[in-house]
Structure 1
Amino acid sequence: MFSSLSLRFRVFLFFALLAIGGVGLAAGSMIFGWMRADLPLPLGPFVTPLILFAFLNTGLILAIWLLFDENVAKPIEQLSSKLRLGAHSGVKADLDTKEARYLGDLAPAAQALARTADTSVTEMATQIAAETQRLKVETERLTAVLTEAPVATILLSKAQEIVLYDRQAADILSGVAQLRLRAPIADYFDPDALRSAFRQLQGDIVEVPASLPSAIGQHVFETRIKALSNEGYMIFIDAEAHPVDQTASRPLVFDFALMNRDATKDIRDTPLSDFCFVVFDTETTGLSIEKDSIVQIGAVRVLNGRVVDGEVFDSYVNPGRPIPPASTQIHHVTDAHVADAPDIGAAGRAFHHFARDAVLVAHNAPFDIGLLRASETQMGVEWTHPVLDTVLLSAAVFGTTEEHSLDALCDRLSITIPAAHRHTAMGDAIATAEALVKLLPLVQAKGHKTFGQLLQETRKHGRLLKDLNG
């Protein structure tokens, strides 16, 4: 229990124990002397010096503690945070030896180790960049091949969740919902028709044609479903029957690590690496959850420690009233931008589908989640998602004495927000997602590997923000 407390708090408790122990020893000595006196003595003359000693002793120890905290405990925590940044998030560990001057040779030794690690990381990054370029070229070749074929392609895991899709499949199914990795295919096609088609894939039958009605609406898609040797399934949609640009390049969106994803556990026992995170931000008419409305929602998805290219939600929202000029001056959203935009009911339902089965992540989440929950009636949905707040994640990693604004956090993690994108829903969502990607390895390195463990840690900093997880 004691070891789970922060270093600075443990040091504070140590000095508090010294103060209490000193007063206790002084009191015990005075009582012993009073009891050993040859003549009965009044107790009053002993109490006054004891109280004076208690004040002076506590003040002295408090002053020593403040010096120790500022010059020893705080620099140690800062040193460990910066070393973790370099070790787990790839951020260059810029160690300030001046702040840690009272730590003896510890800071210079850590700086030498950090420089050695930086050199190794640079060499590894060069190798990774070369391999990434090779994979990029191969992916582009595969994309070119698929572009020539008049079919849209979706790859499913054994759990019938999406592992890969091409842009043509995304275009064809956009009228149903936005395609997204790890989504159940039943989100897009009628579940009964899917079950019937999959039941036909038995024995020597590895491919069947299937007319699949959409999950919503009346459209029917002509498809072929192919089993992949117990590894999953391929769904091919006849692209010629749909009004999409079949000559345009169709980049692939994929994550093959999803092919063998374990069955879902209880959320508190689920490793953080197994979650899909939807990182979002809103722009509004003002700063009141009760009185103001959303004018823009921007969101991206994070899977397996990376932001998924192409899976974004970006929508203006018509608030049904003029946007105050003071708000427009901050986020640059005008009445003209939202004039033809959907209202919060339609936009909220679309975003709810985009965020299905995901953990919602935001910076200062109570405000953004509060606005969504305030509009549940118009949307016809409930926002019961698990929630992570990057303010609390930052506090869990860097301590509560650091600044935890989005700008400060991005500066600490070497994340650049283009000036034109700051205070836009999509720009802030992307910056928050990049921060999340770098924060998750840091909290895992501190031993918080499951959602339940992380929730327990962030609740220690509950005075910063309201907990949204029940």
Structure 2
Amino acid sequence: MRGGLRKALFVTLLVTAGGFLTALFPALFGLADLTEGIGVWALASLVGLAAGLAGLWVMMTLLDGHFDQLVRLHGAVLGAGVRGGTLPDSWNARGGKPDELQRLAGAIAAMLARDRADDRRVDARLSAILGAIGEPILVVTQTGLISLMNAKAAALLGADRLHLGGSLYAILDRTPLIDASGESRAAGAPVERTLTGVAGDTYPARVVPLDEPDGLLIVFLSDVPGHAAGIVEHDMALHDTPPDIAPHPDLPLTELPALSLDCETTGLNVATDRVVSAAGIVMHGPRLYRHLAYDRLVNPGVPIPPASTAIHGITDDMVASAPPVAEVLAELAELLRGRVVIGHNIAFDLAVLRAEAARHGVAWSDPPALCTALLFSFLYPRHRDLNMEAVAAMCGAEIEGRHTAFGDCLVTAEIFAGMLPLLAEQGVTTLADAQRVLAQPSVMRARQHEAGWHAPADGKAGER
């Protein structure tokens, strides 16, 4: 018989059955008479009964743990899209013979790896074809992010300045490029223009409008002698943007425009402590848009206590030249516009931001929010440990960069993505459903209220 759980259940079943048979045998054959005291047969019956009950308890524990592991694997598979199609390392068998779930996880991981390998083969072939083009070429998004470049473009514009995801406007003057883009789209055909570098250098180029992906192809007409056509680097996901959907009560959670948000602070007192770092990642349901991420250090205007630095690693020197919180609050307010904020114990982060807004006279209104800690407690009311590590482990999420604002954003996004189908199984499918769940009385919510984390009824702060 293969499989650790099956073996354990088989042995436990034998012990349970043997225990109950031992308990019943003396009674069935009249061998135990308790009126004469506890004799050998009566003692055997009691021992058998105890063994049977213990066996039942062990069986229930094994099955309960097995189903908990299935839930974790379920969450890990659903969160694989957040991690780029991989399962957390915790599902890799480490020494010894893998059990049933590890073999299942291994099969899923192998299937995901095959899909990634197929994508890489297609990418490699396209890169080889595009790399054979003799001219320097770039593809940029509508916002100017570089999504594709070949070796000749790097040689022409400077390999130290040109990189995927970087802004072309840091290298080329924005105005001539935008004008050429407008003309080419109006004409429905490529146009040739001389583009100007930020340092005054010039580059004759052909600008080609692209509909899919939405952006521009720029073919530089300058010769780059001595440089053979090289490998093409690209990231077409930079062209992806979330759909323009306004959150409303009946909106499915799988279509929710959201921002996974986290702040690091000088301490845990929401009334007096300050923000030292803030990060957010734009989401649409379970999908992440990493190129739309926000990550800022913040100058708190006060010394950072060593005890806090020991947790998040942010020092006074690191934030000395960082922007003040008033500037960051304005950026966050714009980023949150039309989105639901998601966070682990998000009430703490919002309370700190609310207090900072009031302290600096900045208008602030709390956005609609979903707390992954409270959602997890709804799904698993028996689990008392609701810190991010425990929730991530149960949901099959991978912890990376813990106690950094950006790292915690990624973990929270992965947790939320893995929760969506589990919430749907409990009938929680819309924003209104989730908000109803979060409004239910609970010990954790009561403690948050006592700590002053939750906003007043109007949710506003900072207006003087």
- Give the counterpart of 1:325 among 292, 299, 306: 306
Aligned to 1:57: none
Aligned to 1:128: 112
Matching residue's letter, 2:141: I
Tell me if the contact between 1:279 and 1:361 (Cα under 8 Å) persists in the aligned partners. Answer: yes
- What is the DSSP-based 3-state SS (H/G/I as helix, E as strand, rest coil) of the residue aligned with 2:428? coil
Matching residue's letter, 1:389: C
Q: Deviations over 1:51-103 (max 9, x none)?
A: xxxxxxxxxxxxxxxxxxx99999999887655444454399xxxxxxxxxxx
- Give the counterpart of 1:430 among 400, 404, 410: 410
Structure 1 residues 336, 240: closer, same or farther in 2, change over 3 A? farther
Tell me if the contact between 1:300 and 1:430 (Cα under 8 Å) persists in the aligned partners. Answer: yes
Structure 1 residues 360, 407: closer, same or farther in 2, change over 3 A? same
In 2, the alpha carbon distance for the partners of 1:433 and 1:239 equals 40
1:254 maps onto 2:237 in alignment: yes
Aligned to 1:404: 386
The aligned runs of 1:205-244 (5 Å cut-off) are 205=188, 226=209, 228=211, 233-236=214-217
The aligned runs of 1:368-387 (5 Å cut-off) are 368-376=349-357, 378=360, 380=362, 382-387=364-369
Structure 1 residues 169, 396: closer, same or farther in 2, change over 3 A? same
Aligned to 2:272: 291
In 1, the alpha carbon distance for the partners of 2:414 and 2:398 equals 10
- What is the DSSP-based 3-state SS (H/G/I as helix, E as strand, rest coil) of the residue aligned with 1:369? helix
In 2, the alpha carbon distance for the partners of 1:319 and 1:277 equals 26
For residue 350 of structure 1, report the CA deviation from its aligned partner. 3.2
Tell me if the contact between 1:277 and 1:358 (Cα under 8 Å) persists in the aligned partners. Answer: yes
- What is the DSSP-based 3-state SS (H/G/I as helix, E as strand, rest coil) of the residue aligned with 1:314? strand
Report the more deviating stretch, 426-435 or 70-79. Answer: 70-79
In 1, the alpha carbon distance for the partners of 2:231 and 2:65 equals 51
Q: Deviations over 1:206-243 (max 9, x none)?
A: 678999xxxxxxxxxx9967474xx78434578999xx
Tell me if the contact between 2:279 and 2:294 (Cα under 8 Å) persists in the aligned partners. Answer: yes
1:464 maps onto 2:444 in alignment: yes
Tell me if the contact between 2:374 and 2:444 (Cα under 8 Å) persists in the aligned partners. Answer: yes
1:454 maps onto 2:427 in alignment: no
Unaligned 5+ residue runs, structure 1? 1-69, 93-114, 157-161, 176-187, 212-221, 242-246
- What is the DSSP-based 3-state SS (H/G/I as helix, E as strand, rest coil) of the residue aligned with 1:297? strand
- Give the counterpart of 2:329 among 334, 337, 348: 348
For residue 426 of structure 1, report the CA deviation from its aligned partner. 2.4
In 2, the alpha carbon distance for the partners of 1:239 and 1:380 equals 46
For residue 425 of structure 1, report the CA deviation from its aligned partner. 2.1
Tell me if the contact between 1:396 and 1:461 (Cα under 8 Å) persists in the aligned partners. Answer: no
Matching residue's letter, 2:167: D
Q: Deviations over 1:101-143 (max 9, x none)?
A: xxxxxxxxxxxxxx87875664344223211122134346656
Tell me if the contact between 1:264 and 1:270 (Cα under 8 Å) persists in the aligned partners. Answer: no
1:300 maps onto 2:281 in alignment: yes
Tell me if the contact between 1:295 and 1:317 (Cα under 8 Å) persists in the aligned partners. Answer: yes
For residue 430 of structure 1, report the CA deviation from its aligned partner. 2.3
Tell me if the contact between 2:146 and 2:167 (Cα under 8 Å) persists in the aligned partners. Answer: no
For residue 454 of structure 1, report the CA deviation from its aligned partner. 1.4
Tell me if the contact between 2:285 and 2:417 (Cα under 8 Å) persists in the aligned partners. Answer: no
- What is the DSSP-based 3-state SS (H/G/I as helix, E as strand, rest coil) of the residue aligned with 1:288? coil
- What is the DSSP-based 3-state SS (H/G/I as helix, E as strand, rest coil) of the residue aligned with 1:404? coil
Q: Deviations over 1:351-393 (max 9, x none)?
A: 4444443321111111111122223364855344221111111
Aligned to 2:346: 365
1:172 maps onto 2:175 in alignment: no
Unaligned 5+ residue runs, structure 2? 1-56, 80-98, 149-162, 195-204, 223-229, 460-464
Report the more deviating stretch, 351-360 or 126-135. Answer: 351-360
Tell me if the contact between 1:316 and 1:342 (Cα under 8 Å) persists in the aligned partners. Answer: yes
Aligned to 1:316: 297
- What is the DSSP-based 3-state SS (H/G/I as helix, E as strand, rest coil) of the residue aligned with 1:269? coil
In 2, the alpha carbon distance for the partners of 1:239 and 1:371 equals 49
- What is the DSSP-based 3-state SS (H/G/I as helix, E as strand, rest coil) of the residue aligned with 1:423? coil
- What is the DSSP-based 3-state SS (H/G/I as helix, E as strand, rest coil) of the residue aligned with 1:254? helix
In 2, the alpha carbon distance for the partners of 1:341 and 1:240 equals 41
Tell me if the contact between 2:137 and 2:217 (Cα under 8 Å) persists in the aligned partners. Answer: no
In 1, the alpha carbon distance for the partners of 2:72 and 2:239 equals 28
For residue 286 of structure 1, report the CA deviation from its aligned partner. 1.6
Q: Which structure exhibits the higher relative contact order, with contacts defined as CA atoms closer than 8 Å and separated by 6 or more residues? A: 2
TM-score relative to the length of structure 1:
0.56
Structure 1 residues 276, 318: closer, same or farther in 2, change over 3 A? same
Report the more deviating stretch, 341-350 or 76-85. Answer: 76-85
In 2, the alpha carbon distance for the partners of 1:327 and 1:83 equals 37
TM-score relative to the length of structure 2:
0.57
Matching residue's letter, 2:431: F
Tell me if the contact between 1:163 and 1:254 (Cα under 8 Å) persists in the aligned partners. Answer: no
- What is the DSSP-based 3-state SS (H/G/I as helix, E as strand, rest coil) of the residue aligned with 2:249? helix
Matching residue's letter, 2:427: G
Structure 1 residues 387, 267: closer, same or farther in 2, change over 3 A? same
- What is the DSSP-based 3-state SS (H/G/I as helix, E as strand, rest coil) of the residue aligned with 1:318? coil
Aligned to 2:26: none
Structure 1 residues 340, 200: closer, same or farther in 2, change over 3 A? same
1:388 maps onto 2:384 in alignment: no
Q: Deviations over 1:142-193 (max 9, x none)?
A: 568489744342269xxxxx99955656423589xxxxxxxxxxxx99xxx9
Q: Deviations over 1:387-419 (max 9, x none)?
A: 11111111121126532111221222233435x
In 1, the alpha carbon distance for the partners of 2:231 and 2:423 equals 42
For residue 319 of structure 1, report the CA deviation from its aligned partner. 0.8
Matching residue's letter, 2:237: F
